[in-house]
């Protein structure tokens, strides 16, 4: 069993860089850097290979570059995807891989396995309003789509399902991959046995028990554009198309009233919807 990681960077802070250096002492893999300037001088960082793109080509394409490197240069059976702000324990890679293998023993069509994501700000588990969870054997929670941070996939499954759609750039990249895997008969999900700290968006507002997550303005452009373009993709679930329609309409209503950059977020969302409809970049 050999597991490598793919980490994507974009303007990391000193804490992120120190984290990469620490992980590279015990973990093998590749770091793909979308920053405008190099964060490391050499092509290797400990056990990591460093690839500098010189521009932001998006997380989808950056992960594809990392995947291709591992396919061509390294022998590995499993790949774990990490964000630059992922903070994991020294045993995380072994734990998520071992759990993947255990689940695959009774769910042979397992594709992508993710950890339980814990909100780094509130220390509470991220939960979906639309998807109640059902745990199998106290180890596996099948889910239609999961976020990629901390996820594990076997190389054989990854080759079968294929790489990311690079034109998605950032938003819904992981969701689309899960839906494509589902269309090929695979199952994705999370495990309560492994946890990871994760922050979605930049700010959170609570309305009763419902969390409204506010992201950077540019993310709303890609959310709007990609949503429109994914409407015509046959394997994208109808329920997602409908629930995301509700979310999009809600954002159009509340974003102008969000303090600070709400208007900028709203304008980017409108721009994204327009470009999605007119098939512009």
Stretches in the chain below the pLDDT threshold 70? 119-132, 198-210
Total-model pTM: 0.93
Domain residue limits, the chain: 3-198, 203-278
CA–CA dist 169, 60 (Å, integer): 5
- Whether domain 3-198 has CATH 3.90.550.60: yes
pLDDT of residue 80: 98
Kindly give the residue spans of alpha helices, DSSP state H, lying in 83-206: 92-106, 155-161, 173-183
CA–CA dist 142, 214 (Å, integer): 27
Q: Is 26 exposed, middle or buried (0-12, 13-18, 19+ CB in 10 A)?
A: exposed
pLDDT of residue 129: 53
Work out the angle at residue 18's Cα, subtended by the Cα atoms of residues 31 and 29, and round it to the nearest 5 degrees.
25
pLDDT of residue 134: 82
Return all residues near 10 (Cβ < 8 A) that are at least 6 apart.
33, 34, 35, 56, 59, 84
């Amino acid at each position: 069993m050999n597991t490598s990681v793919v980490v994507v960077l974009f303007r990391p802070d000193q804490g992120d860089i120190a984290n990469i250096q620490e992980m590279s002492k015990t973990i093998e893999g590749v770091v793909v850097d979308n920053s405008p300037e190099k964060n490391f001088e050499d092509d290797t960082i400990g056990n990591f290979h460093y690839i500098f793109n010189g521009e932001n080509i998006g997380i989808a394409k950056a992960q594809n570059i990392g995947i291709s490197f591992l396919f061509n240069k390294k022998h590995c059976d499993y790949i774990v995807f990490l964000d630059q702000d992922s903070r994991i324990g020294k045993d995380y890679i072994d734990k998520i891989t071992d759990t993947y293998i255990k689940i695959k023993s009774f769910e042979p069509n397992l594709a992508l396995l993710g950890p339980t994501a814990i909100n780094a700000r509130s220390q509470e588990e991220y939960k979906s309003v639309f998807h109640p969870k059902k745990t199998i054997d106290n180890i596996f929670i099948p889910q239609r789509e999961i976020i990629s941070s901390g996820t594990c996939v076997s190389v054989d499954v990854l080759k079968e399902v294929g790489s990311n759609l690079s034109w998605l750039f950032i938003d819904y990249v992981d969701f689309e991959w899960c839906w494509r895997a589902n269309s090929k008969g695979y199952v994705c999900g999370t495990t309560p046995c492994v946890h990871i700290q994760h922050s979605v968006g930049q700010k959170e507002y609570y309305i009763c028990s419902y969390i409204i997550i506010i992201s950077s303005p540019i993310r709303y452009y890609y959310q709007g554009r990609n949503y429109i373009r994914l409407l015509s993709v046959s394997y994208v679930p109808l329920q997602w198309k409908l629930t995301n329609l509700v979310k999009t309409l809600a954002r159009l209503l509340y974003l102008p009233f969000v303090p600070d950059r709400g208007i900028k977020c709203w304008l980017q969302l409108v721009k994204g919807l327009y470009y999605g409809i007119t098939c512009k970049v």
